[in-house]
Structure 1
Amino acid sequence: MKVAIIQLGYAEGADESVEERSERVAGLVARHAPGHDLVVLPELWSAGGFASTEWEGRSQDLSGGEVDLPPALVPVARAARGRGAVVHTGSVVERTDQPGPEGRHLWNTSVVLDPDGRVCASYRKVHRFGFGGGEPKLMEAGPDLVVTDLPAPADGLRTGLSTCYDLRFPELYRAQLDLGAELFLIPAAWPMARVEHWRLLLRARALEDQCFVIACNTAGTHAGVEMGGRSAVVDPWGTVLGEAGTGEEVLSVEIDTTEVARAREKFPVLADRRL
């Protein structure tokens, strides 16, 4: 499986609307999807991962528009069509008419598109970052684990979806493992101040669960917060197969999907779990 990670960046204060950013991202998808089986975008690239004061105004309704896509993702879906790749669109601030259990209307929602630009999987972020502010104050927590079989050509490994701060909670990944996960897809808006945590945790989640990790972070700045970049692909042995720098770039990595079964057979640590 050949993967393209689009580590999107944008400068603080740049004169780029959500619509303009969506068209720019669509252009990157159109350019890099050919020759790849899977394309991955970062978390909240349209709204800004730390731009919480802008989330309401940049929120998206997933239940209307073209093939039930929010406006920010319509250009991306159009760009994906006919280019032969599954596209994980990162995440958007989803807005719903009905409030969630805590009375909020916003969610941090990931959407995956098949090669025809249709939704084939979605995930609402379970763990909200902010210690009472930011996401916990403004957004609902997703209620469900999502482990899915992606369509061809990105098939072959059962895939668990998670987002950014989820990475700090190993029990989520153990639960996905128990649902058959062999690959973890993780879009993020992880800051530079804690980028070494990001790099360590990506390897830990891959190694402890003997899964591939494909993680797409953001570059640039969000609301004055410098993003960490360092998107990466990690194999089931904890080896980093490819890592981006700190600026906007596209990381292309090919993975051997048979390596999960090989690692689990050669070093069957998961069979010794007791708890």
Structure 2
Amino acid sequence: MKRKVALVQMDIQLGSPEANYQKAAQAIKAAASHHADIVVLPEMWNIGYALSDLKDIADNNGQKTQQFLSKLALENKINIVGGSVAISRGTSFYNTSYIYDQTGQLIGTYDKVHLFGLMDENQYLKAGVKESHFALAGIPSASFICYDLRFPEWVRTTARHGADILYFPAEWPSSRIKQWKIMLQSRAIENQAFVVAVNRVGTDLDNEFNGHSLVIDPLGNIICDGGEDEQVCYAEIDLEKLAEVRGPIPVFKDRRPELYH
């Protein structure tokens, strides 16, 4: 089984949700026109890290984003991993991902579990507490957000349910992009899964982002690197390769969790 994925490497406009929704819509339509099965957006694509303005511009209960993604998924007959957006829920704010199938049905949500102090998330956002695993385009999958990448125990905890693709939307600064690549390759190898990671480009008030969205196979080979320009890049995932990797080295079968503390 093969699937074509589209990685939306956006230049996010800080604190400008209308401009960002318009840009995301154009990218999703472009992905559909290129016959992608799955399109993936970056982290916090609705407002960027305009965290001090959350009270005014966060998406209330994620309603606008959910309607937006559902409509585009159905109209374009494309599966969407909605990166993540800043939402309000009650009196709290979250960094939240929504996943839609090609019929416009919501099949997964995820609140970012690990909040990144260097970008002040811990001052403004509430952390999630639940795993995210789902079947998208017929593929067992799991989703994480940016800083979660630095916690292999969390990725393994989620991946143990049988994920074939691990999604990592992010706003990962260029100063640490070398670590981004190494850790993504490690997560692919140790979990024997494909990794689809989408990073933004551009700048905000404090950071510069240089893309390098990646698709990585279960052996750690980079199938696609989005480079440093704003674009939608594409890669084909051949899921038959999973059996070739997992058969000889059954890491999940050989785990000894009773020893892990």
* TM-score normalized by the length of structure 2: 0.90
Residue 124 of structure 2 aligns with which residue?
A: 138
Residue 38 of structure 2 aligns with which residue?
A: 38
Question: How much does 1:27 deviate?
Answer: 1.6
Identity of aligned residues (%): 34
Q: Are 2:75 and 1:82 aligned?
A: yes
Checking the alignment, whether the CA contact within 8 Å between 1:38 and 1:88 is kept in structure 2 is yes
Distance in 2 of aligned mates of 1:79 and 1:96:
23
Counterpart of 2:18 in 1: which secondary structure? helix
Residue 70 of structure 1 aligns with which residue?
A: 63
Counterpart of 1:273 in 2: which secondary structure? coil
Question: How much does 1:72 deviate?
Answer: 4.2
Distance in 2 of aligned mates of 1:95 and 1:259:
41
Residue 105 of structure 2 aligns with which residue?
A: 118
Distance in 1 of aligned mates of 2:64 and 2:159:
33
Distance in 1 of aligned mates of 2:253 and 2:192:
12
Residue 25 of structure 2 aligns with which residue?
A: 26
Amino acid at match of 2:106: V
Distance in 1 of aligned mates of 2:152 and 2:194:
15
Q: Are 2:142 and 1:174 aligned?
A: no
Checking the alignment, whether the CA contact within 8 Å between 2:144 and 2:167 is kept in structure 1 is yes
Question: How much does 1:10 deviate?
Answer: 4.0
RMSD over equivalenced CA pairs, Å: 1.9
CA displacement, residues 114-161 of structure 1 (integer Å, 9 cap, x when unaligned): 213332211011000016x711111111010111112xxx21x31111
Aligned residues: 254
Q: Are 2:28 and 1:8 aligned?
A: no
Distance in 2 of aligned mates of 1:268 and 1:75:
41
Counterpart of 1:90 in 2: which secondary structure? coil
1:262-273 equivalences in 2 (<5 Å): 262-273=244-255
Checking the alignment, whether the CA contact within 8 Å between 2:12 and 2:47 is kept in structure 1 is no
Distance in 1 of aligned mates of 2:205 and 2:66:
22
CA displacement, residues 45-97 of structure 1 (integer Å, 9 cap, x when unaligned): 1111x3322333221123xxxxxx53245444333323221011111112112
Amino acid at match of 1:2: K
Unaligned runs of 5+ in 1: 63-68, 100-104
Question: How much does 1:212 deviate?
Answer: 0.6
* TM-score normalized by the length of structure 1: 0.86
Amino acid at match of 1:9: D
